[in-house]
Amino acid sequence: MPALTDPWIPSTSSYVAPFSTVKVYRVTGTGSSMSFQELPNVQCLVVEEHEGAAPSSALFRYVFDNNNSRAPQSIEQALSTSVSLPLAVNVGDRLAVSATKPDGSYEWLFDGFPLAWGCHVAEKVEVVTMQATGIAKRLWDTPIGGAICRNADQPKTGLDVVTDLVAQFNPRGKPNATPANADANAGGSGTSDISYPTFLDPYVTLKDPSNGDKPYQRTWDIAMAARHLIFANNDGTYVTNPKGSDLDALLVSREPNGSGTYDPTDSSTYTAKPIPAADTPISGRNLVPTLQHLIGDYGFGINFPLTTDSNGNPTTALKPFLKQAGTPKSIYLPARGSNFDPTLCNMAEGSFSRDLAGAVNQWTIEGALNRHEVSLVLAPGFPAQGSDVTTLGKFSTTATEFDASSNDTHNAYRLWIFDETGENHYPNGSATASTTIPSLDDIFGAPMGGGGGGPGTPQYVHRRRPPIGTLLAKDGTGQRMRYKLSISTDYAGTYPAVWDGTGTWQEVHGGYELLKDRLGIWVNCQNPNAWKIGKKTEGTGPLSSGVVKAVECMAAASTANPAFFLRLTCVVEADKRLSYTAAKGATSPLTQTIEQRIDAHDRLRVEIQAKCSEYNTTGSDQKLRDDTDLATAEALATRIATECGVFDGDPVEIPYLTRYYDIGDRIDQINGRGLGFRTDTGTGSTGAVLPVVVKRRFELLNGQRTTLWLSDAGLDRRNFKRKGVRKPVAAKAAAPAPAVPMPRGTSKRDWEKTENDPRYNA
């Protein structure tokens, strides 16, 4: 069995309990101007450190020895605000604790502020204690303020303005970070180790000509968001910050690339992919919990290591870390029956458990339903009879004959539908209903398989599909266009059907609205036989007057009033969604597959401009947005963090003071007993999954000891269940104010169906 590498281990082979000299100091000043006053009348009893969003803590007590007139000697002197003694600890003081190592050097155990005083009085006993919190608590002093916003007209070089707007990463899935190489606090070089992105208006449509005319806005990933959180909210006075380049390299998803055994510290063994930041408002929250929430679900942790700087002063750092990237260390216990040698043993007591009940070895990311921009030729949703031209009055809402309670009268010459469920449509000029369901195979895909004459597996179901009014196509300013209705008298294709590209079409500029319950439109003018569609700008065709006599055209078509066809361009949802599964790998110790799903419909999606769209001139479907890579990164990071269950060491006691084991260190085995702590299978292309030190406690009086708590839970186990549950659909609330102004001439009903429809998160 090899000797311990712990520099705090006793050097003698005879069993003598090692004892480190522990001193308490009052600290004044910061940085290089620190000074220290030893407080011999104060003892430090316990120091505790935790992984996660929690500063360290320490417990102190006064020594009442009646030998020092400069120090409190009773509870009255220790707790009274009217007594002032040079060695009394007061509100606002800063205390630091040091401990000597066996080689005579020292290290700092604690640096922080006493915040709570207590006393205990009993027969022949008076005790005054002080509870202190680590200096990292300064990061909780001030909540995050309003959004730091960049001028929208100068996204690369403009000023950043501190506003009272809510700071929010990727609101409703919309990118809103400033461009690359244009970070704030970069000193003119674009990016640096203290620079960070700021916020851009997600609705501004300016494009970057130097980047292929792509929008200036970037999607926040967790590395970018961490830069913003840390560098915009901590000036480093009390707690030093990590380097920005270290955050960029650390906070990524690591996909093993098959070039050898996966090592999370060796970038040649994995492909790094950005992990998108969830839609997260941060204003009014505290820096550290927000950062933990941002990165904690992907196997990352936070700690506050206390080190000694080049001047010998205590320095606390904010350190995000990957829980499975630390250098493995061992704890030591001689084999049963062997001679005891304290230089080869450092475990006095330990309890260990392996829990696979919460293991999840397969994660599926589910985005929004795929969206397709399409052009569809509609059919009348009403019967047409020649006699209708003799009773024109009953179709006008202002006529006494109009019967609004009758569906036949209410919808006659007003309802045009795609009839995606076969609920009855009519050929032009006919009173004979058809229940033939038009095919959407060209949009959603033909049935798959079907060998041997079978029908194959359908790619969509026959169901009503309410249209979405905001298109994927954009106008010359980069703004997404609105749904469009066009009319033709020479279309020769089938209908209702996906548009085949034929016909001469004239845009309809008004007098209709989208249906809310199925694909189609409803003519909402007073009289469908006097439907004002907007005058044609050139030509002398049958529609050049800009007025369509719908009753006469459909019931008794003539040269003057020919039958017409309507083409609707809108967006429809498919029955398939963006989905990526990080499948169970060879390293999972479970033989069965345990799957959880993450509902990411608010931020991940696929958007396709179908070849049938009038705005698609390429002749093939165009995928305008595909977040599959982002889904892949998130699913892989989550699976690696959860696939091996949880190994706990709760607690492991070492019978002397040691800082050899730090928060975040991995523990690989009990050396001497051959008990390995690896929780994966030890096969496949990934490195070992080992428990991590998540809590450390120093007991400093009457038999010093160090206690460690170990866990390899990449995620908080409470999050396992949370991530697999879809968000409940909230009760319908009042519509929020539009994020962008409602265009002139657009009805409120139509506007709420498009940009501000709660289903639409483009």
Model pLDDT for residues 46-77, shown as the tens digit of each residue: 999 999 899 999 999 999 988 888 999 988 88
Q: How confident is the model at residue 567 (pLDDT cuts 50, 70, 90)?
A: very high
Confidence of residue 158 (pLDDT cuts 50, 70, 90): confident
Q: Does the pLDDT value for residue 14 go beyond 70? A: no
In the predicted model, is pLDDT for residue 337 greater than 90?
no
Residue 722: pLDDT band (50, 70, 90) is very low
For 480-515, how does the pLDDT look when each residue is reduced to its tens digit (9 = 90+)?
Answer: 899 999 999 999 999 999 999 999 999 999 999 999
Alpha-carbon torsion (318, 322, 324, 325), positive or negative: negative
Q: CB atoms < 10 A from the CB of 736, how many? A: 8
Nearest to 293 by CA among 282, 283, 304, 308: 282
Q: What percent of the chain has pLDDT above 70?
A: 87
Q: How distant, in Å, are the alpha carbons of 24, 73, 122, 135, 625 from that of 61?
A: 11, 12, 16, 19, 62
Separation of alpha carbons 161 and 141, rounded Å: 23
Task: Name residues whose C-beta falls within 8 Å of residue 455's C-beta, 6 or more positions apart in sequence.
Answer: 447
Please tell me the distance from the alpha carbon of residue 597 to that of residue 576, in angstroms, as a whole number. 15
Model pLDDT for residues 438-449, shown as the tens digit of each residue? 999 999 998 887
Show contacts of 265-272: CB within 8 Å, 24+ apart.
265/325
Whole-number average pLDDT of the chain? 85
Q: Label the pairing between strands 35-38 and 705-711.
A: unpaired
What confidence category does residue 394 fall into, taking pLDDT thresholds of 50, 70 and 90?
confident
Whether residue 168 has pLDDT greater than 50: yes
Confidence of residue 588 (pLDDT cuts 50, 70, 90): confident
List the end-to-end C-alpha distance of the chain, in Å, as a whole number.
61
Position 450 pLDDT exceeds 70: no
| Cβ-contact 581, 362 below 8 angstroms | yes
| Cβ neighbours of residue 749 closer than 8 Å, sequence gap 6 or more | 513
Name, of 508-512, 585-589, 710-714, 740-744, the range with top average pLDDT. Answer: 508-512
Average pLDDT over residues 169-176: 91
Is the pLDDT confidence value at 733 over 50? no
Instruction: Name every residue whose Cβ is closer than 8 Å to that of residue 670 and which is 6 or more positions away in sequence.
Output: 330, 331, 332, 333, 347, 350, 677
**Cα separation, 520 vs 264, whole angstroms:** 53
Tens of pLDDT, residues 674-712: 788 877 765 554 567 788 899 999 999 878 899 999 887
- E-strand spans in 338-447? 349-355, 362-377, 379-380, 415-417
The helix (run of H) or strand (run of E) holding residue 244 is helix 244-250
Q: Is the pLDDT score of 736 beyond 60?
A: no
With beta carbons less than 8 A apart as the criterion, state whether 342 and 8 touch: no
Residues 6+ apart with CB under 8 A from 271: 254, 255, 257
pLDDT at 538 > cutoff 70: no
Residue 355 has pLDDT above 50, yes or no: yes
E-strand stretches of 466-594:
470-474, 480-482, 484-488, 497-498, 506-508, 512-514, 520-523, 531-532, 547-548, 565-582
CA–centroid distance for 289 within its chain: 14
Task: Please give the structure tokens belonging to residue 467.
Answer: 């249209």
Q: Is the pLDDT of residue 395 over 90?
A: no
Distance CA 754, CA 740 (A): 12
pLDDT of 420 higher than 90: yes
The residues, any chain, with a CB within 8 Å of residue 453's CB and separated by 6 or more, are none
Q: Exposed (0-12), middle (13-18) or buried (19+): which is 728, by Cβ within 10 Å?
A: exposed
- Res 742 pLDDT > 80: no
- Asked whether residue 520 carries a pLDDT value surpassing 60, the answer given is yes
pLDDT of residue 735: 39
What pLDDT, on a 0 to 100 scale, did the predictor assign at position 498? 97
Q: Is the pLDDT of residue 751 over 50?
A: no
Cα-based torsion angle of the residue sequence 534, 538, 539, 543 in order, rounded to the nearest 10 degrees: 0
Over 70: is that where the pLDDT of 233 sits?
yes
* Residue 118 or 450, more confident: 118
758 or 103: whose pLDDT is higher? Answer: 103
Tell me the three-class secondary structure of 61-82, residue by residue: EECCCCCCCCCCCCHHHHHCCC
Please say whether the beta carbons of 287 and 230 come within 8 A.
yes
The pLDDT of residue 725 is 35
* pLDDT at position 38 over 60: yes
More confident position, 230 or 536: 230
- Report helix angle 222-233 to 287-295, nearest 10: 170
Please tell me what DSSP assigns to residue 188.
Answer: T
The pLDDT score that the predictor gives to residue 340 is: 64
pLDDT for residue 398 is more than 90 = no
Separation CA 59–CA 57 (nearest Å): 7
Which of 568-577, 599-608, 637-646 is the least confident region?
637-646
* Owner of token pair 């991995």: 666
